[in-house]
Structure formats: C-alpha cells, structure tokens
Chains A and B, each alone.
Chain A
Amino acid sequence: EVQLSESGGGLVQPGGSLRLSCAASGLTFSSHAMSWVRQAPGKGLEWVSSISGSGGNTYYADSVKGRFTISRDNSKNTLYLQMNSLRAGDTAVYYCAKNPSDTINYFDYWGQGTLVTVSS
C-alpha cells in the first residue's frame, strides 16, 4: 500500500526558512513524478511544485518560483521542499502528492499534510 508522510511543518517568522520532507513507501519511488500542493486555511487547492522521477526536471508555480526548491532523494524514497523568504501568504497545509507515472498529470495518492504557519 502506498503511503506518503509529510513532516517539517511549523511556525516560522516572515523571511524565514523551512524544509518539508515527504517519506514514501509502498512504491518504486523513482518511477513516479512527485508534487507539492498547498491549501491555505479555508481556501482551495494550489499547486506549488513538481519534480520528475529522476529529479532532472522541476516545475514551480509563479508564486513560489525563486523562493522554493523541490528535490528528491530516490535512495531514501523522500521528497523535499526547501522554502525560503517565507511570507504570510505561504501559510497553508502542504500536501505531498504522487503522480501515477513519471508524467505529471493527476495525483493518485496524497499525504495527510503538514501545516506551515508564517507569522511574527
């Protein structure tokens, strides 16, 4: 059974940094593109970033480009999101999501999310 488990969320001051992790199990990790999707309190889903199975291709939403970096360690079955220059508008639950193949289309599995709060 595929399981995705996010960690690393918490309270951070504006301008600060945080690194999220997503540990994956029950799948051939390197065969799947992976993504981060966030949801601000009471709001809808917002795509943040995606990465190919090899890690060679990365994609970012305009709202985070230049501030966030997605990466993966296929030897550890782990996805990361390095978040720098955080703003209040980045406050959200961050979900790790799996694509069914190495193509970025839909998300067939999601983690339970980790809450990031940016506040002074």
Chain B
Amino acid sequence: SYVLTQPPSVSVAPGQTARITCGGNNIESKSVHWSQQKPGQAPVVVIYFDSDRPSGIPERFSGSNSGNTATLTISRVEAGDEADYYCQVWDSSSDHVVFGGGTKLTVL
C-alpha cells in the first residue's frame, strides 16, 4: 500500500518560514492535500490539490508537489500556527485514502 512519510516535528521561530515535507513514491503523480489540527479540535484543510487554498486560509500557507516530495510552506509563522499538520492523498491503485503520520509544528 502507498505510504506517506512526514517528519514528526518541525520547529520555527515566529516570523520565519516553516516547511513541512511529505514523501511518497512518485507523489507528484497524485494530488496532495494538507490539513491542520489544533489540540482538541477537528482537522481543517489548509491546502488542497497540491497548492490551492480554501477561502479563509491566509496566503501565508502554500503548497508544492514535485518528484517524491510534497511540501507545505508557512511563511511569517505566527504562534497561532502551532498545530499538527497532515498530508493526505487518494491512492487510486488501492482505492484507499492515505494520511501521512503527521508533523507537529512548534513555534519557538
């Protein structure tokens, strides 16, 4: 089955740029979606179809997908961005939704 690999944690100072990666075999052939989950809350999509941003999500959030790695980039990080972030794809070969293991973003 398809596997998505994320770093368990990323730390960044306020105002800096955070990059969270999501690795998968030829992931560029798939559409990658990113969700943010704060403690005690349900997830919220922040990027869909690699780089599209839902209304209400700040422009500071962006996404890219190339080769074997998709990346969620958060510019000018704020304390309120501290959360768990999950990448996700639909694997058509198995008809399964696949989530990455999640990355905890810490704002120093």
Report the interface size class on chain A.
20 to 34
Query: A46–B42 contact, CB under 8 A?
Result: no
Q: List chain A positions with a Cβ less than 8 A from chain B.
A: 35, 37, 44-47, 50, 59, 61-62, 95, 104-108, 110-113
Smallest CB gap from B101: residue in A: A44
Inter-chain contact B42/A113, CB cutoff 8 Å: yes
Interface size class of B (residues with CB under 8 A): 20 to 34
Whether B90 and A44, one on each chain, are in contact in the complex, defined by CB atoms closer than 8 angstroms, is: no
Residue B97 interfacial (CB < 8 Å): yes
- Docked-complex contact A110 and B42, CB < 8 angstroms: yes
- Chain A: interface secondary structure? loop
The distance from the CB of B33 to the nearest CB of chain A, in whole angstroms, is 4
User: In the complex, what distance in Å separates the CA atom of A95 from the CA atom of B35?
Assistant: 14
Interface membership of B98, Cβ < 8 A: yes
B98 vs chain A, min Cβ distance (A): 7
